[in-house]
Structure 1
Amino acid sequence: MKTLALLGLSLTLGGCESLFMLGCMGRTALQIEPGQLPAAIVGQPYQVRLTVPGSHTPLSGFYLDPATRLPEGIELRQLANSDFAELSGTAHTPGVYPVLIYTASYGTQCAGQSAERSYQLQVVAP
Structure 2
Amino acid sequence: MRRGVEAQPMDSVGSMDSVAGLRSRLREFAAARDWEQYHTPRNLAMALSGEAGELIAELQWLDDDRIKAALAEGPLRERLADEAADVLLYLVRLADVCGIDVIDAAYAKIERNETRFPPTV
Q: TM-score range by the shorter chain?
A: under 0.3
Using structure 2 for the length normalisation, give the TM-score: 0.23
Structure 1 or 2: more helix by fraction = 2
Instruction: State which structure, 1 or 2, has the greater radius of gyration over its C-alpha atoms.
Output: 1
Structure 1 or 2: more strand by fraction = 1
Using structure 1 for the length normalisation, give the TM-score: 0.22
